[in-house]
Amino acid sequence: MFCDVVLRESTRAFDRSYTYAIPAEMQGQVAVGSRVQVPFGGGSRLQEGYVQALKADAGSDFYIKPIQKLLTPRPVLRPDQLRLAARMRDRYICTYGDAIRCMLPAAVTSIRGKRTRMVMLTDPEEAQSILNDGAIDRIGQVRVIELLLEYGSVPAIELMAAAQVSRSTLNTLAKKDLIQFENTNLRPEEEPLPEDETELAQDLIPNEEQEAALAQILQALTDEATTAGLREFLLFGITGSGKTEIYLQAARQAIANDRSVIILVPEIALTPQMTARIRARFGTSAAVLHSRLLPSERAEQWNRILADEIRLVVGARSAIFAPLANIGLIVLDEEQESTYKSETHPRYHARDIARMRARDHGAVLLLGTATPSIESFQRTESGYSTLLTLSERATDAELAKTKIVDMRSELAAGNRSLFSRELAAELREAVKNGHQAMILLNRRGYSGFVLCRDCGKVIRCRVCSVAMTSHARQVAGAPPGQLKEQLICHYCGRINSIPTTCPNCGSKRIGRFGAGTQQVEELMRKEFPEIRTLRMDQDTTAARLSHGELLASFINREADVLIGTQMIAKGHDIPNVTLVGVLAADLMLGLSDFRAAERAFALITQAAGRAGRGDEPGKVIIQAYNIDDFAIRCAAAQDYLTFYQEEVAFRRQLRYPPFGSIAVATLSGQTESTVRERTQLLHAALAAHRRAEQGYGDIELFDATRAPIHRIRGRYRWRIVLKGQSAEQLAAFLAPVLDRFDFQRLSRSIDIDPYQLM
């Protein structure tokens, strides 16, 4: 017997399947999906690979080496996953190995056993004084120390997630002897599981609209005749209309039909509340894959899925690769979310992978949202997808009343506060009545950036071409409220002190410009001393082990007002919230990106959906300077269809998705002249290829330019943007050129269908 093997590590030039002989003692054990070790190349270096197919004869390959070793007793990949890997390889211009690495949890191939690596401070007192001296100039390192000061010892994996740092940050701190590691058998608390399947919660009785939507989905789920085609639905339902109930009932039906189910949710929605809701309905036949699982736990869940013990997988982006057999239903909740797009190579979108898998399995694809992406809504118009609408809330809660406040007229009336008079009055009223409020501002930090009012200089990061953001940090060990203001680069984490004179012209008129969440919190405390506030953004969630904790204390009414970035707008169901304020709503539109309007619309709508979910009607106040903006007007009116009509016309005219696709090739390196020259050479190669080959005449190839952020961590970045008919066309056009091109030592990144062009 022989088999085809693809390699885990390879370059595109060598990335194909290779024939190997299966030695007699491995006959019957090696199967499609087996993880094997094979000798490769002239030196027969041992490499890890995966069996793609078994075959009786070796074909024209006349020198065949045998498989060296079977690395895992049972196959680690299902046949359809290998087919998916082949498709991803073409679609994202990556290797089989790149695609397969998305499908295998790290622990399956590296870590063994259930030992957990714990991290602790070597000397907490010393660490605290080093922190107070400002001797650490990387925000990631500061966060790690702060977390350890608060929590003692923490599993490394959790610490890295909470502090948003990589392993190398921990290693750096260990080298400085500030932290140490210890392996233990300690496992975090398990979620309690319902003991008995009879205790599982019942489905709710669907209302009329839910019933109508479910009928169509259930029909498709049982409709064996059409399993070959793709059955796709867009469930367009306002917040609180009971979409989740539909997902759960459809999932129950699919499972009853002996099929399995994947439900994808944005990472931020994987709260304990959500987990509990799934657990209550499906018990132990469901697996919840959240980012706080330890690698060993993730591997364990993954093995249970592969062993067919799990019928329902709920998880964030990467759960789309779960090795389920016979998938009958795939759900993407909040399908427009940017977190479904991978920011690392291969830059896949979970919605595209979901479509590929659904087609392969004959599964129903159900996209749910209150604010559909333009792409997904357009598919319902062109007949690729069926629109299901929920226009009413499932409970008695009324939709919130929205109002736009013109901040220019506030200014004209002498109100220089961040809060309009109306928002201020409503805030006081809400709190007086024992209700809670949320204030949304889409900018982290204490304030925007630091600017010289004489020469206009903005303080930028030394190694990244971005303005540094001012943050006030609590001085560790000092009484609460003793803050120290610093400048932080959001790209590389570098910390600087705030200059007192302009480094360019020497002027003393240098100061903060614009407001961030931190400043909003401080101003609220000044203007409304009686109101208790809580802040939630990337900075505060990094200072705790999870945003769940912050949220829990807000739900427990330990604060009256939750201030935050877009994080607070998403999916949190807090009945006592009656007021939502959106500050500087037009700030989000300033970005020169084709999706800016769509994002702003979605964010404002979601924020509005947070108000008045309980017995009290909600109120939403949207503050803006440019109150005539279309996206803001439509969002305030909760009018998606009007917004869609305008936006889709703009997309069509400019051939933006879904009427065309965009690809971006970015090169980066230490020396700008080399990066520029290589990018220009690549541009010339692409132009020559377009002339030489048939079928690419309509591809627009834009000149090589500096990337919008042209330097990150000291590396210069140049890029080429292309526009074409479809992602497939662009990938087919780019692949042969990129595979042959000499990038020398430069890093490259290829993004087909980027989420944004920034």
Which residues are near ligand ADP by CB under 6 A?
204-207, 210, 237, 239-245, 394-395
Backbone angles phi, psi at 609, to 5 degrees: -65, -15
**Whole-number Å distance between alpha carbons of 171 and 140:** 12
- Name beta bridge partners: 387: 234
- Name beta bridge partners: 668: 717, 747
Secondary structure (3-state) at 637: coil
The smaller minimum CB distance to ligand ADP, of residues 245 and 560, is found at 245
Max CA separation in the chain (angstroms): 88
The smaller minimum CB distance to Zn ion, of residues 370 and 712, is found at 712
Torsion sign (Cα): 416, 518, 522, 617: positive
Determine the interface stretch with Zn ion among 330-338, 484-492, 619-627, 643-651 (rule: CB under 5 A).
484-492
Determine the interface stretch with Zn ion among 276-284, 325-333, 458-466, 630-638 (rule: CB under 5 A).
458-466
C-beta neighbour count of 571 within 10 angstroms: 20
Instruction: Tell me if 681 contacts Zn ion by CB under 5 A.
Output: no
Instruction: Tell me if 139 contacts Zn ion by CB under 5 A.
Output: no
Q: Residue 632 Cβ, how far from ligand ADP at the closest point, in Å?
A: 22
Q: Which does 240 bind (CB under 5 to 8 A by kind): ligand ADP, Zn ion, none?
A: ligand ADP
Contact residue for Zn ion among 166, 497, 501, 507 (CB under 5 A)? 507
Secondary structure (3-state) at 655: coil
The smaller minimum CB distance to ligand ADP, of residues 389 and 533, is found at 389
How are beta strands 364-369 and 231-237 bridged, if at all? parallel
Q: Which does 625 bind (CB under 5 to 8 A by kind): ligand ADP, Zn ion, none?
A: none
Instruction: Tell me if 501 contacts Zn ion by CB under 5 A.
Output: no
Instruction: Tell me if 215 contacts Zn ion by CB under 5 A.
Output: no
Question: Which tokens is 119 given?
Answer: 């991290």
Q: From residue 244 to residue 263, what is the string marking binding to Zn ion with x (rule CB under 5 A)?
A: --------------------
Q: Where are the beta strands (DSSP E) in 606-689?
A: 619-624, 661-669
Instruction: Tell me if 455 contacts Zn ion by CB under 5 A.
Output: yes
**Whole-number Å distance between alpha carbons of 707 and 205:** 53
Q: Which does 242 bind (CB under 5 to 8 A by kind): Zn ion, ligand ADP, none?
A: ligand ADP
Secondary structure (3-state) at 128: helix
Q: Residue 608 Cβ, how far from ligand ADP at the closest point, in Å?
A: 13
Q: Which amino acid is at 1?
A: M
Q: Residue 502 Cβ, how far from Zn ion at the closest point, in Å?
A: 3
**Whole-number Å distance between alpha carbons of 539 and 162:** 10
Instruction: Tell me if 457 contacts Zn ion by CB under 5 A.
Output: yes
Q: Residue 267 Cβ, how far from ligand ADP at the closest point, in Å?
A: 17
Q: Is the distance from CB of 424 to CB of 527 less than 8 angstroms?
A: yes
Question: Which tokens is 694 given?
Answer: 């048939």
Backbone angles phi, psi at 721, to 5 degrees: -105, 140
* Cα-only R_g, the chain: 27
Determine the interface stretch with Zn ion among 434-442, 462-470, 604-612, 703-711 (rule: CB under 5 A).
462-470
Question: In whole angstroms, what separates CA 67 from the centre of its chain?
Answer: 39
Instruction: Tell me if 505 contacts Zn ion by CB under 5 A.
Output: yes
Q: Which amino acid is at 661?
A: S
The smaller minimum CB distance to ligand ADP, of residues 203 and 700, is found at 203
The end-to-end CA distance of the chain, in Å, is 52
Q: Which does 491 bind (CB under 5 to 8 A by kind): Zn ion, ligand ADP, none?
A: Zn ion
420 HSE (CA, 13 A, CB side): 23
Q: Which does 207 bind (CB under 5 to 8 A by kind): Zn ion, ligand ADP, none?
A: ligand ADP
The smaller minimum CB distance to Zn ion, of residues 55 and 713, is found at 713
Q: Residue 457 Cβ, how far from Zn ion at the closest point, in Å?
A: 5
66 HSE (CA, 13 A, CB side): 10
Closest CA to 256 of 236, 299, 291, 285: 285
Q: Which does 489 bind (CB under 5 to 8 A by kind): ligand ADP, Zn ion, none?
A: Zn ion
Residues in the chain: 758
Q: Residue 576 Cβ, how far from Zn ion at the closest point, in Å?
A: 40
Instruction: Tell me if 452 contacts Zn ion by CB under 5 A.
Output: yes
Q: Which does 505 bind (CB under 5 to 8 A by kind): Zn ion, ligand ADP, none?
A: Zn ion
Q: Residue 710 Cβ, how far from ligand ADP at the closest point, in Å?
A: 41
Q: Residue 239 Cβ, how far from ligand ADP at the closest point, in Å?
A: 5
Contact residue for Zn ion among 93, 314, 464, 622 (CB under 5 A)? 464
Q: Residue 243 Cβ, how far from ligand ADP at the closest point, in Å?
A: 3
**Whole-number Å distance between alpha carbons of 458 and 498:** 12
**Whole-number Å distance between alpha carbons of 198 and 439:** 42
The smaller minimum CB distance to ligand ADP, of residues 394 and 664, is found at 394
Q: Which does 268 bind (CB under 5 to 8 A by kind): Zn ion, ligand ADP, none?
A: none
**Whole-number Å distance between alpha carbons of 82 and 97:** 10
Contact residue for Zn ion among 148, 332, 502, 600 (CB under 5 A)? 502
Q: Residue 334 Cβ, how far from ligand ADP at the closest point, in Å?
A: 9
Q: Residue 204 Cβ, how far from ligand ADP at the closest point, in Å?
A: 4
The smaller minimum CB distance to Zn ion, of residues 252 and 715, is found at 715
Instruction: Tell me if 451 contacts Zn ion by CB under 5 A.
Output: no
Secondary structure (3-state) at 76: coil
Determine the interface stretch with Zn ion among 1-9, 304-312, 488-496, 624-632 (rule: CB under 5 A).
488-496
Secondary structure (3-state) at 288: strand
Contact residue for Zn ion among 130, 489, 577, 682 (CB under 5 A)? 489
Q: Is the distance from CB of 500 to CB of 428 less than 8 angstroms?
A: no
Prior bond of 658 cis (ω within 30°): yes
Q: Residue 246 Cβ, how far from ligand ADP at the closest point, in Å?
A: 7
Contact residue for Zn ion among 151, 491, 513, 659 (CB under 5 A)? 491
The smaller minimum CB distance to Zn ion, of residues 89 and 711, is found at 711
Given the structure tokens 């399908």, which residue do they identify?
Answer: 335
Instruction: Tell me if 725 contacts Zn ion by CB under 5 A.
Output: no
Q: Tell me 395's DSSP state.
A: S
Closest CA to 757 of 599, 618, 608, 637: 599
The smaller minimum CB distance to ligand ADP, of residues 397 and 524, is found at 397
| Interacting residue ranges for Zn ion, rule: CB under 5 A | 452, 454-455, 457, 461, 464, 489, 491-492, 494, 502, 504-505, 507
